[in-house]
Amino acid sequence: MAGLQRVEYVQSQTGIQVFIQENTYSKNKVRGQFVHWRCSEKNCSGKCTTSCDFIVNLTGVHSHPPKDSSTVRFLSTLRKRTREETTPLQAIYNDEISRLTAGVAQNMPSFPSVSSALYRHRLKSIPVLPQSRRDVNLEGAWTQTQDGRRFLLFSDGEVDSFFDRRPACHSAVGRHCLHGRHLFLLSSLMESVVRHPCT
């Protein structure tokens, strides 16, 4: 698609948006290979259509001042890192602001002015705290250690779950024996350390 402008995606508080010519657009509808977007500002008639990550049509006149591209990209990066990392938000902010030149950095919003929105954004990726043990439902990344090893060995979906805190734990499959010095059993009757008979 020679001559067409490529779409730049940014992370907003409500989800993914596109940033085109100093304006942000939210997804409106999808028709086949075409995605229709409308200006993210209320009561603005600006619209655009994209296909395969390229802009194919821009219509309407924007009824608001253009957005500063540096600020849009800065906030997008903060939101993305806030959702994907467990790094403290102040540290993320400080890291990103340090990457900017002094002239650009002084025009960025301060941490106190964006912290509440960032904390709300982070909460979207953290499961709600369970009210009882039956409400605990561990899936995906929550069953692994930070380096990708499996931490949740067994869960019956009710109240019993086995966890291993050691890196050398394997499930009892074929000739492999479940081992490790400590396995933790959580049940409705007890919460104790179970030692494997082989150790």
Written as tens digits, the pLDDT of the chain (199 aa) is: 556 788 888 888 777 888 877 889 999 999 999 999 999 998 999 999 999 989 999 999 999 999 898 999 999 999 999 988 889 999 999 999 999 999 999 999 999 999 999 998 888 877 777 787 777 776 777 777 777 777 666 666 554 555 555 544 444 343 343 444 444 444 433 344 444 444 4
Q: Which of 83, 44, 65 is nearest to 28 (CA)?
A: 44
Quote the pTM value: 0.61
Return the axis-axis angle of helices 89-98 and 69-84, rounded to nearest 10°: 140
> What does the alpha-carbon distance between residue 152 and residue 171 come to, in Å, rounded to a whole number?
10
Q: Looking at residue 169, what is its pLDDT? A: 42
CATH class of the structural domain 8-59: mainly beta
DSSP 2: T
Return the axis-axis angle of helices 89-98 and 111-123, rounded to nearest 10°: 130
> Tokens 């938000």 sit at which residue?
89
> What does the alpha-carbon distance between residue 85 and residue 195 come to, in Å, rounded to a whole number?
34
> What does the alpha-carbon distance between residue 24 and residue 40 come to, in Å, rounded to a whole number?
6
* One-letter identity of residue 94: N
The answer to whether 21 and 58 are in contact (CB under 8 A) is: yes
Q: Looking at residue 177, what is its pLDDT? A: 39
Residues of the chain with CATH 2.20.25.240: 8-59
Q: Which of 129, 177, 137, 142 is nearest to 158 (CA)?
A: 137
Q: Looking at residue 47, what is its pLDDT? A: 94
> What does the alpha-carbon distance between residue 191 and residue 99 come to, in Å, rounded to a whole number?
48
25's enclosing H/E stretch is strand 23-31
Q: Looking at residue 49, what is its pLDDT? A: 94
Q: Looking at residue 44, what is its pLDDT? A: 93
Q: Looking at residue 121, what is its pLDDT? A: 86
